[in-house]
Amino acid sequence: MERRRPVREYLAVAVTLVLGACTAAPPAASPTPTAVPTPSPVPTTTPSESPAPIPPFEAARAHAFVRELAALGPRETTSATYRRASALVAERFRALGYAVEFQRFDVPAGNVDEIQVASGSTRNVVARPAGSDPRAPHLVIGGHLDTVPDSPGANDNGSGIGTLLEIARLAALRPPPMPVVFVAFAAEERRRQSEDRSTLFLGGLEYLDRMSPAERDSLRGMINLDMIGNGEEVLVLGGRGPISAALLAAAERRGVPARPSTVADRFSDHQAFREAGYPVGWLWAGDHPSLHRPDDTIAVIQRPMLRRAGTVAWEALRRLRLE
């Protein structure tokens, strides 16, 4: 909550001294000076400064970046297009004043949505507030940047990344009470090696593996933004806990239609954090027929849905403080 500056009152005191005049002609006595009452002090008040308004989530900004990402084409995590997309996201974070780190790691070959892909390297994009202390309590908010090999991924998950960047802009203007680390995750999409073995949310697992002991102790939870570009209501996944509760409460405060859900709850980056013991929340808008298809283009994205999900996430971050 915002604190008002204390009001300082300055008293202007007007004091008038009236002196009687003396006559020079003797033998008349000098007149007695007439006392003039001193006016009562008139208090003056300096108006307190009104707190700056909370910057609102601007869906148009998020939508513009989703368009830019989708225009690059499919962003399979080991591809040159993914590297261009991750460089673009890093550039946007830096322009907002964040300290940016690439977390490079290797991923195995496998079958991604019925398409065979080779092994290779990829990278998470991690943005931290400049000068932040990793030992201080903080939150992670993120979404995956990669796509399946034949989809431009406007909704899955350009929508999450566009929203993430807009929230990062707002947090740079008005830092939340608890510092936030922003992450664009790589290699979220499932890579099947065989019928009984596949890998999921490798970017989230890589981020956790690289955390120092101090960061592990100070991390208070994770918010995941994945597929939030098309729908009528915000679905909150991640089970019961303080993060999910904060997201639902934020939706109620802002009048955004939202409800808890358990559909497909395991299949995104938040699950890596939940398995590590952290409270999580996944904002989702439900599946769309374009999921993992070439027609997951900017035409799928609805600005009102971006506004709903982004408003809920921003409202929650503005008030969330977990000790």
pTM comes to 0.84
Angle between helices 80-95 and 59-72 (to 10 degrees): 150
User: Does residue 209 belong to any structural domain of this protein?
Assistant: yes
- 21 is a domain residue: no
What's the distance, CA 100 to chain centroid? 15
Instruction: Assess if residue 74 is contained within a domain.
Output: yes
Output the domain CATH number for residue 122. 3.40.630.10
What's the N-to-C CA distance of the chain in angstroms?
16
Does 26 fall in a domain?
no
Helix (H, G, I), strand (E, B) or coil at 242: helix
Positive or negative torsion for Cα 265, 270, 274, 278: negative
For 255-294, give the secondary structure using H, E and C: CCCEEECCCCCCCCCHHHHHHCCCCEEEEECCCCCCCCCC
- pLDDT for the residue 31: 45
* CA gap 66, 159 in Å, rounded: 6
Count of beta carbons in the 10 Å neighbourhood of residue 112? 23
Decide if 28 is inside a domain: no
Distance CA 286, CA 300 (A): 13
Rounded Cα distance between 259 and 256, Å, is: 10
From 80, 178, 167, select the one nearest 132 (Cα to Cα).
178
Which pLDDT score, from 0 to 100, does residue 266 have? 87
CA distances from 235 to 228, 258, 289 (A): 9, 6, 17
Return the ∠ at Cα 260 (arms to 189 and 314), rounded to 5°: 75
pLDDT of residue 51: 63
In tens digits, the chain (323 residues) has pLDDT values of: 433 334 333 333 333 333 333 334 444 444 444 444 444 444 343 444 456 788 999 999 999 999 999 999 999 999 999 999 999 999 999 999 999 999 999 999 999 999 999 999 999 999 999 999 988 999 999 999 999 999 999 999 999 999 999 999 999 999 999 999 999 999 999 999 877 778 999 999 999 999 999 999 999 999 999 999 999 999 999 999 999 999 999 999 999 999 999 988 889 999 999 999 999 999 999 999 999 999 999 999 999 999 999 999 999 999 998 87
In a domain, 2, yes or no: no
Residue 122 belongs to some domain of the structure:
yes
pLDDT at 323: 77
Q: Provide the Cα torsion 200, 203, 204, 210; round to 10°.
A: 130
**Hey, what are 204's tokens?**
């989230």
Can you give the pLDDT at residue 83? 98
Is residue 31, in this structure, part of any structural domain at all?
no
Question: Hey, CA dihedral for 252, 258, 262, 267, is it positive or negative?
Answer: negative
Q: What range defines the domain where residue 298 resides?
A: 59-319
Domain count for the chain, please give it.
1
> Which is it for strands 120-129 and 98-107: parallel, antiparallel or unpaired?
antiparallel
- Hey, which bits of the chain come out as E strands? 9-12, 42-45, 98-107, 110-112, 115-117, 120-129, 138-144, 180-185, 191-194, 197-199, 219-225, 234-237, 258-260, 280-284
